[in-house]
């Protein structure tokens, strides 16, 4: 029950409550000497800390779970831990370590015939390549993941990959292709009833239109995304959308409104304990006042935020 409740909290971006519940579950598992439950809980707790950008804590938890799985003969569990740890490294721009771990997970999933795990790993590799501007390799990995998800009938996975492809195209200013990918993802999310996926894709569509100076359409998609996030009580999603709205207002020369959006986003990130993102938005606010490039203040924070904002949520 603790695990199930923690997952629900995690889906609602209530990371503090999710972590508390998982810590209770971990204490029970360790007290009972249940290594399997301990490893699984460590892995899930690692995911919660990763979502909060608490990378040191997340890394420690994934490593601990990774070390337990061989002792109990759980090959698949170890591959899952590889994946989680790889994501931690990717979000810190440690691409060599991330690629190595994703590749190890890929080898395990291929050997045991776990196509779902294999597709997830290919998606992770695609994100690594995209973050390094290796767009051809990113598209190849994502296309392979898409093929697997389609074969096993995983529509949610297909939507996630289409959103990833949209990001690859958007980073190259291929707006037509990006819009098509995001719209296809949106159709899947609408059909499967994945409202959170819809909100994420609407936010990205807002970015597509904002970057093409199609401000009314950008405003519409950002507003729709914000409404969905509010209905889901997803504060992280709301904060991400407020960044887009702030960027939109800034592009329109409406700086006081941009500052208001950025400030609200910063406060939400701070409340959620997402310190790297809060720092990034603080830099945006400082740059707005100083009228200079936000990346100049803290490039590390900027890179981590951009990677995090494009990552696949569980």
- Give the pLDDT confidence of 134-178 residue by residue, as tens digits: 999 999 999 999 999 999 999 989 999 999 999 999 999 999 999
CB contact set of 216 (below 8 Å; sequence gap of 6+)? none
User: Any idea what DSSP says for residue 312?
Assistant: P
| Alpha carbons 186 and 33: distance in angstroms, whole number | 45
Residues 236 and 272: beta-carbon distance below 8 Å: yes
Of the candidates 277, 306, 314, 281, the one whose C-alpha atom is nearest the C-alpha of residue 90 is 306
For residue range 207-220, what is the model confidence (pLDDT) as tens digits?
A: 999 999 999 999 99
Tokens, residue 312: 């696949």
Tell which wins on pLDDT, 306 or 272.
272
Under 8 Å between Cβ of 54 and 39? no
The answer, yes or no, to whether residue 303 has pLDDT greater than 50, is: no
Contact 204, 184 (CB under 8 A): no
Share of the chain above pLDDT 70, in %: 92
59 phi-psi bin (left φ>0, alpha ψ -120 to 50, beta other): alpha
Give the per-residue pLDDT at 7.
79
| Residue whose structure tokens are 């992280």 | 236
Q: Is the dihedral of CA 279, 285, 290, 291 positive or negative?
A: positive
Closest CA to 24 of 8, 11, 40, 41: 41
DSSP alpha helices (H): ranges in 75-154? 75-91, 95-112, 115-131, 135-152
pLDDT at residue 306 above 50?
A: no
CA nearest neighbour of 243 among 215, 204, 214: 204
Decide: 74 and 81 in contact? Cβ < 8 Å: no
Q: Is pTM beyond 0.85 here?
A: no
Mean pLDDT, all residues of the chain: 89
Under 8 Å between Cβ of 161 and 145: yes
| Range 74-85 average pLDDT | 96
């Amino acid at each position: 029950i603790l695990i199930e409740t923690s997952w629900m909290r995690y889906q609602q971006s209530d990371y503090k409550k999710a972590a508390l519940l998982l810590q209770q579950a971990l204490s029970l598992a360790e007290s009972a000497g249940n290594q399997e439950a301990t490893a699984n809980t460590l892995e899930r707790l690692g995911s919660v800390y990763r979502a909060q950008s608490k990378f040191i804590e997340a890394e420690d938890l994934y490593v601990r779970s990774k070390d337990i799985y061989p002792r109990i003969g759980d090959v698949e569990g170890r591959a899952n831990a590889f994946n989680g740890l790889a994501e931690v490294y990717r979000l810190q721009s440690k691409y060599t370590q991330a690629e190595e771990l994703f590749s190890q997970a890929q080898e395990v999933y291929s050997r045991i015939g776990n196509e779902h795990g294999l597709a997830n790993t290919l998606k992770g590799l695609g994100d690594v390549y995209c973050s390094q501007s290796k767009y051809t390799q990113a598209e190849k990995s994502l296309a392979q993941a898409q093929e697997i998800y389609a074969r096993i009938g995983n529509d949610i996975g297909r939507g996630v990959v289409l959103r990833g492809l949209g990001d690859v195209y958007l980073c190259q200013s291929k707006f037509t292709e990006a819009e098509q990918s995001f719209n296809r993802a949106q159709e899947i999310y609408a059909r499967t009833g994945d409202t959170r996926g819809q909100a994420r894709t609407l936010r990205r569509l807002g970015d597509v239109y904002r970057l093409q100076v199609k401000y009314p359409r950008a405003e519409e998609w950002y507003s729709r995304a914000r409404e969905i996030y509010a209905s889901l009580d997803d504060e992280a999603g709301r904060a991400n959308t407020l960044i887009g709205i702030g960027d939109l207002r800034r592009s329109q020369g409406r700086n006081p409104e941009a500052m208001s959006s950025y400030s609200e986003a910063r406060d939400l990130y701070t409340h959620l304990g997402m310190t790297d993102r809060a720092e990034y938005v603080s830099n945006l606010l400082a740059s707005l006042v100083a009228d200079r490039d936000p990346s100049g203040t803290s490039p590390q924070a900027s890179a981590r935020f951009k990677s995090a904002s494009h990552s696949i949520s569980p």
